[in-house]
């Protein structure tokens, strides 16, 4: 779904009723719940955030009913109905109630929606503890366990970062047993909201002394709130969008309910918004007869101004939209706080630049220079209500249609927004997005996006020296030329094309060109050398090979020419080699020899003239072969895995549905595109959604973070080391990639403590996954799964996928038992190329794929891979729980990475050896490891009996540790093992 925006052609006419202020309702409901007796609050709000407050108060035992347009609140002591209460997605509810929950007569845990469990509240928790509240939080984020007991009072210091933190303390202090002094450290942000809190408290009989600068509060103890009847004023935070709409278009619009233009924060904390829009030239007048604010004009030229965002930070998105059409440069000062909201609202509004706007950040200021017009575009709302509504209004002034993601985000604060705006005449509607899997091939989807999003970004080639981008139109043209080039080389439908390319834009170009002509993609890892390449060429029968001229420290073009000349038999059916330049400069080609031609790929493609009719007749059928991938061959010769178009498309659709991905996402691809993780869950996914894909050829965490920040990357699927490196970089001081919301860890289970740390440090959902080249993803966590359950797991079965664990006889085991993992999937491979014998071996008689992994499926349905069948360590008949030992050792502060493998032993058969990569500054020896395991009360039967420190663990391209290599290093039989090496 998306919000479609179309240019407005007619003046706006009509009226809307401004809803009641959610800010007042929040405070009034909470204060009424503390006042023993009955309070009546006139002015019901349908904002979702208010509903969260009502639900939480009811769970604490407060009786709240709605009678007509009034809330009737019967206050008194909190007697929780349940052990855990939720603030939903309301920050105000969370911050206000964390402390007030201590007034309950039993312990209570305050939590929120899943993503709220990443919201840091450490400074507020510290201040509440200073006030005498007894509470616990595992990581300074919800959930927070609060024990009953009135606070003791005292001197409390709190940062002025969020007004809700200050308000939460001020609301609680009157109920302390001792006098309280609250001092605000640093700049006070959103002071009007604190002024509103104090004013509302006084309405309920609570006394608060405030200094002139609103940075010191003196509150006497033992106070009691008294019931009150009050009427809620209109919500200027919602009215602002009606005002902006009427200002941007010729209008005769009445906003019913607004009866004054002077900015008094007691009436509303955002009242100063009226002052600002007045300075900008919005023609407003009070219509006393109609009972509202009227905006009437035939077109107005707005004026630039200066805005102090500390006073009205939430108004920046709406005002930035106005400023985009104002004469001159509007300056928004002190924007740092605005970037801590539901999203980075400053960065979100910079999307106006893609429509032709002129916005830039200069230190702690946002500078917006007015422009004459905008062009429609597909933008992201980041699921932020104010961003959605502001960009939507900007889109109604654009030339051409546009779209916004998360089209229902406005319901959080202004549920009537869409009805009100369309009622005035604006052309916006919620529509179904392009289906996740329309009845088209991947090349057809590329053509679709080139028509519908021609100038939107399709591919960003991320490199240390700078990034280059292709739009959908440019990519489509490049793919046509590449397809024409392949046709000129004689490539036939169903024929594999081999290419050994890094994560460059050319990889995407070549893959889509191969698929466009009905051929089969055969990507080869850039790390492959002569042996692996020769095998893949012979087995695949590829007649065309593409290689880079150079990558990292290798000159692939020269290497390939040398070994093909030395060993002509290694060519197989190969007839042509094309060299792809790293910088698109001309490449030096070797002399052609008998039967083997060479070409400069970039030069050839640039000169190609596509034949539309020839291309149109070569599109693949849904069940045609699309991909030939060679496995890493760690236990024998590599196997060629064949997949069809429809199978791969379905696998991507399953992931989109599980993760809730949409056309507002941006996919970062650090995993090799020549591996299924990058190819399918990076490139194929990006084209399916029609979103930018950031391809990074050479891994460097600093470059990745820079790209994620600059291009607003939201999704990554990669192996554990990629995640660990990002966490390390941010921990060392680099800025957080604020748009990143999902990191799927594939290739190996992410250690639980790393998942916890990454969630906290990066502010992203870390989702475990399990899949194979043969079956695609079989299990995957979702962002809203309970972290305590999914951290350290490999996810839940995908829709339509079944998982089972069997013993060596094929008997299915009960939940919690370890055994052989088997998968029944709708996304299976066709078979191993030319190896029907190996294909038959991996399938059971009833159609389940044998993964070769050991696993446990818990009662919670979460999959946990415990090792490979060949990784089992059998110590004197006792199986060592390898995955558990690795997880525990990974928690040691000196350990960066660890792998445990078996080593032969004459007496016991096998003993365990731990290979450890030390963390920076770490120090670990065998005795220290033993003491650590003893402290954790691990059975000595499971202790590794040898410790080997290594600089790095050997990994395959998917990021999996190559334990067969480690076993070879630990393979010397221990006929006589020194005592100091034994546990």
* SS (HEC) of 185-247: ECCCCCHHHHHHHHHHHHHCCCCCEECCCCCEEEECCCCCCCCCEEECCECHHHHHHHHHHHH
Closest CA to 510 of 473, 548, 538: 548
Give the H/E segment covering residue 705.
helix 701-710
Does 678 carry a binding-site annotation?
A: no
Q: Is 22 annotated as a binding residue?
A: yes
Burial class (CB in 10 A: 0-12, 13-18, 19+), 59: middle
CB 883 within 8 A of CB 865: yes
> Which residue, chain included where needed, has tokens 């779904």?
1
CA dist 704 and 712 (Å) reads: 11
| CA 143 vs CA 73, 111, 121, 187, 203: distances in Å | 27, 4, 10, 28, 32
| Residue 371: other Cβ atoms inside 10 A | 16
Nearest to residue 864, comparing CAs of 772, 767, 793, 796? 793
Cα separation, 243 vs 281, whole angstroms: 12
Q: Cα–Cα distance between 302 and 248 in angstroms, integer? A: 9
Rg (CA), the chain: 32
* 578 among annotated binding-site residues: no
Catalytic residue among 69, 213, 252, 314: 314
Report the alpha-carbon distance of residue 51 to residue 413 in Å, rounded.
Answer: 10
Angstrom distance (rounded) from CA 88 to CA 58: 13
DSSP 270: T
Q: State whether the Cα torsion 726-728-730-732 is positive or negative.
A: negative
Residue 579 gets which letter from DSSP? E
Any known ligand binding at 676? no
Q: For residue 858, say whether it is annotated as part of any ligand binding site.
A: no
Active site residue 314: yes
Beta bridge partners of 73: 39, 64
**81 is an annotated ligand-binding site residue:** no
Cβ neighbours for 701, distance < 8 A, ≥ 6 positions apart: 722, 725, 726, 728, 729
CA distance 345 to 78: 37
921 is an annotated ligand-binding site residue: no
Q: Which tokens in the block code for residue 603?
A: 């030069």
- Buried/exposed code over 536-549 (b: 16+ C-beta within 10 A; e: otherwise): bbebbbbbbbbbbb
Q: How many Å apart are CA 633 and CA 640, to the nearest integer?
A: 10
Measured between alpha carbons, how far is 686 from 669 in angstroms, rounded to an integer?
10
Q: Is 341 annotated among the ligand-binding residues? A: yes
Using the structure block, give the residue that is written with the tokens 């062009």. Answer: 375
Provide the CB-side half-sphere exposure for 449 (13 A, CA).
31
Asked if residue 350 has a cis previous peptide bond (ω within 30° of 0), the answer is no
Helices (H), 2-76: 22-34, 48-59
Q: Which helix (H) or strand (E) holds 616?
A: helix 612-616
**What's the CA gap between 501 and 545, in Å, rounded?**
10
542's tokens? 């590829």
Whole-number Å distance between alpha carbons of 175 and 261: 37
DSSP letters of 472-539? HHHHHHHHHHHHHHHHHTT--TT-EEEE---SSHHHHHHHHHHHHTT-EEEE--TT--HHHHHHHHHH
Would you say 429 is a known binding-site residue?
no
Q: Closest Cα partner for 454 from 473, 430, 475?
A: 473
> What distance separates the 2 farthest-apart alpha carbons in the chain?
101
Intra-chain end-to-end CA distance of the chain, in Å = 59
As a whole number of angstroms, the distance between CA 494 and CA 517 comes to 9
C-alpha distances in angstroms, 474 versus 50, 355, 459, 511, 612?
47, 18, 10, 15, 16
91 marked as binding residue = yes
Catalytic residues: 314
Binding residues: 22, 27, 91, 119, 163-164, 314, 341, 345, 386
Binding residues for phosphoenolpyruvate: 22, 91, 119, 164, 345, 386
Binding residues for 3-phosphoshikimate: 22, 27, 163-164, 314, 341
């Amino acid at each position: 779904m998306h919000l479609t925006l179309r240019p407005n052609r007619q003046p706006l006419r009509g009226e809307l009723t401004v809803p009641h202020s959610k800010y007042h309702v929040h405070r009034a409901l909470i204060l009424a719940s503390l006042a023993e007796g009955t309070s009546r609050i006139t002015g019901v709000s349908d904002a979702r955030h208010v509903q969260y407050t009502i639900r939480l108060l009811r769970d604490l035992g407060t009786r709240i009913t709605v009678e007509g347009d009034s809330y009737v609140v019967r206050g008194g002591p909190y007697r929780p109905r349940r052990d855990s209460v939720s603030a939903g997605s309301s920050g105000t509810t969370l911050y206000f109630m964390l402390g007030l929950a201590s007034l309950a007569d039993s312990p209570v845990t305050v939590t929120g929606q899943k993503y709220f469990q990443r919201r840091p509240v450490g400074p507020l928790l510290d201040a509440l503890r200073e006030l005498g509240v007894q509470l616990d939080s595992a990581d300074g984020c919800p959930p927070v366990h609060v024990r009953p007991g009135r606070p003791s009072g005292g001197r409390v210091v709190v940062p002025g970062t969020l007004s809700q933190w200050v308000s939460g303390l001020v609301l609680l202090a009157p109920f302390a047993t001792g006098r309280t002094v609250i001092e605000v450290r640093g700049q006070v942000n959103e002071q009007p909201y604190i002024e509103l809190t104090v004013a509302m408290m006084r309405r309920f009989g609570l006394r608060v002394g405030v200094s002139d600068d609103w940075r010191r509060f003196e509150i006497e103890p033992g106070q009691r709130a008294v019931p009150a009847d009050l009427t809620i004023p209109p919500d200027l935070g919602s009215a602002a969008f009606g005002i902006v709409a009427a200002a941007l278009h010729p209008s005769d619009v009445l906003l019913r309910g607004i009866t004054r233009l002077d900015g008094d924060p007691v009436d509303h904390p955002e009242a100063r918004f009226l002052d600002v829009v007045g300075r900008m030239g919005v023609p407003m007048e009070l219509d006393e007869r109609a009972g509202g604010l009227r905006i009437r004009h035939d077109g107005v030229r707005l004026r630039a101004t200066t805005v102090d965002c500390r006073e009205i930070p939430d108004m920046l998105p709406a005002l930035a939209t106005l400023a985009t059409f104002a004469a001159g440069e509007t300056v928004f000062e002190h924007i740092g706080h605005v970037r801590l909201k539901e999203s980075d609202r400053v960065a979100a509004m910079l999307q106006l630049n893609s429509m032709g706007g002129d916005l830039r950040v200069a230190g702690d200021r946002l500078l917006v220079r007015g422009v004459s017009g905008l062009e429609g575009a597909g933008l992201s709302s980041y699921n932020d209500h104010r961003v959605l509504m502001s960009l939507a209004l900007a889109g109604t002034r654009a030339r051409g249609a546009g779209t916004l993601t998360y089209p229902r985000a406005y319901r959080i604060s202004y549920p009537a927004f869409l009805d009100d705006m369309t009622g005035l005449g604006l052309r916006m509607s919620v529509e179904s997005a392009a289906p996740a899997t329309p009845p088209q091939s991947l090349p057809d989807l590329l053509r679709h996006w080139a028509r519908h999003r021609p100038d939107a970004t399709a591919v960003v080639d991320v490199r240390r020296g700078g990034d280059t981008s292709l739009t959908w139109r440019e990519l489509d043209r490049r793919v046509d030329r590449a397809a024409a080039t392949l046709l000129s080389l004689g490539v036939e439908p169903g024929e594999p094309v081999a290419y050994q390319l890094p994560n460059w834009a050319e990889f995407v170009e070549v893959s889509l060109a191969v698929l466009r002509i009905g051929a089969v993609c055969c990507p080869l890892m850039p790390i492959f050398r002569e042996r692996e390449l020769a095998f893949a060429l012979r087995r695949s029968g590829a007649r065309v090979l593409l290689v880079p001229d150079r990558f990292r420290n290798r000159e692939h073009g020269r290497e390939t020419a040398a070994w093909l000349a030395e060993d002509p038999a290694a060519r197989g059916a190969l007839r042509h080699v094309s060299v792809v330049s790293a910088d698109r400069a001309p490449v030096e080609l070797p002399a052609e020899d008998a039967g083997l031609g060479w070409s400069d790929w970039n030069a050839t493609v640039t000169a190609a003239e596509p034949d539309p009719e020839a291309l149109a007749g070569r599109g693949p059928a849904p069940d045609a072969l699309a991909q030939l991938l060679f496995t890493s061959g760690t236990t024998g010769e590599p196997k060629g895995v064949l997949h069809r178009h429809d199978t791969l498309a379905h696998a991507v659709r399953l992931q989109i549905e599980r993760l809730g991905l949409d056309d507002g996402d941006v996919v970062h691809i650090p995993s090799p595109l020549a591996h299924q993780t990058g190819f399918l869950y990076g490139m194929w996914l990006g084209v399916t959604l029609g979103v930018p894909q950031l391809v990074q050829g050479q891994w460097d965490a600093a470059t990745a973070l820079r790209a994620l920040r600059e291009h607003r990357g939201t999704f990554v699927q990669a192996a554990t080391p990629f995640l660990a490196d990002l966490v390390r970089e941010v921990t060392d001081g680099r800025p957080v990639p604020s748009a990143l919301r999902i990191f799927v860890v594939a290739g190996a289970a992410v250690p639980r403590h790393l998942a916890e740390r990454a969630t906290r440090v990066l502010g992203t959902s870390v989702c475990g996954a399990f899949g194979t080249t043969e079956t695609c993803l079989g299990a995957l966590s979702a962002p809203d799964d309970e972290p305590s359950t999914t951290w350290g797991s490999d996810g839940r079965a995908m829709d339509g996928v079944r998982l089972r664990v069997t013993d060596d006889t094929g008997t299915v085991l009960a939940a919690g038992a370890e055994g052989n993992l088997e998968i029944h999937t709708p996304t299976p491979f066709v078979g191993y190329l030319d190896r029907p014998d190996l294909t038959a071996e991996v399938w059971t008689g009833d159609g389940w794929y044998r993964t070769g992994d050991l696993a446990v499926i818990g009662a919670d349905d979460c999959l946990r891979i415990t090792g490979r069948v060949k990784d089992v360590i059998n110590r004197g008949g006792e199986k060592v729980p390898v995955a558990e030992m690795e997880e525990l050792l990974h928690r040691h502060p000196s350990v960066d990475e660890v792998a445990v493998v078996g080593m032969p032993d004459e007496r016991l058969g096998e003993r365990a050896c731990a290979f450890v990569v030390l963390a920076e500054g770490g120090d670990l020896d065998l005795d220290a490891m033993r003491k650590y395991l003893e402290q954790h009360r691990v059975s000595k039967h499971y202790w590794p009996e040898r410790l080997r420190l290594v600089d790095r663990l050997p990994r395959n391209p998917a990021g999996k540790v190559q334990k067969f290599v480690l076993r070879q290093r630990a393979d010397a039989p221990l006929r006589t093992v020194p005592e100091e090496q034994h546990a």
